[in-house]
Amino acid sequence: MKFPKYSTDLGLLIARAGIGVMFILHGYPKIIGGVDRWEGLAQYGLPFLPEGIISIAFGLAAAVAEFGGGILLVLGLYHRITCSALAITMAVAFSTKLSAVSGIGNFAKEAGWPLELLIVFVALLFTGPGRYRIGNGN
């Protein structure tokens, strides 16, 4: 079966838009959660950080990566920077979920989601945004 000339670009748009919208929805509560939510987010993902401004900054960075990254992913703007930020965020999320894994039988249930998204963002980092985007897509 032969696909149309730009079917790969359409596939990238569908992947970017679908995952981007989900990250907008996932990140929105974190963005509006305020300082306490940001600090808690950082302390959960990076418990070695000192409490206070450093934790708040890292938590806010994660919230912005998810919410703002979702928007940029949908638009195809700053694609590689966005995918890098989201991949790092998912790597931290994956590391926090590993402690709940008690064996191969529950690995996917406990830690699979952030690992799967980490793989997706690394793949999108290498493929680029595709033809259907706003701006130059770098």
26-79 confidence digits (pLDDT tens):
999 999 999 999 999 999 999 999 999 999 999 999 999 999 999 999 999 999
Token pair belonging to 61: 């960075």
Residue 137 confidence (pLDDT): 52
Range of the domain at 71: 7-127
Q: Does 78 reside within a domain?
A: yes
pLDDT at position 56 is 97
Residue 90: pLDDT over 80: yes
> Structurally, how many domains does the chain consist of?
1
Are the C-beta atoms of 76 and 16 separated by less than 8 Å? yes
CA count, 13 A, side-chain hemisphere, 116:
8
Answer whether residue 90 is part of any domain: yes
- Mean pLDDT, rounded, for 82-95: 97
43 in any annotated domain:
yes
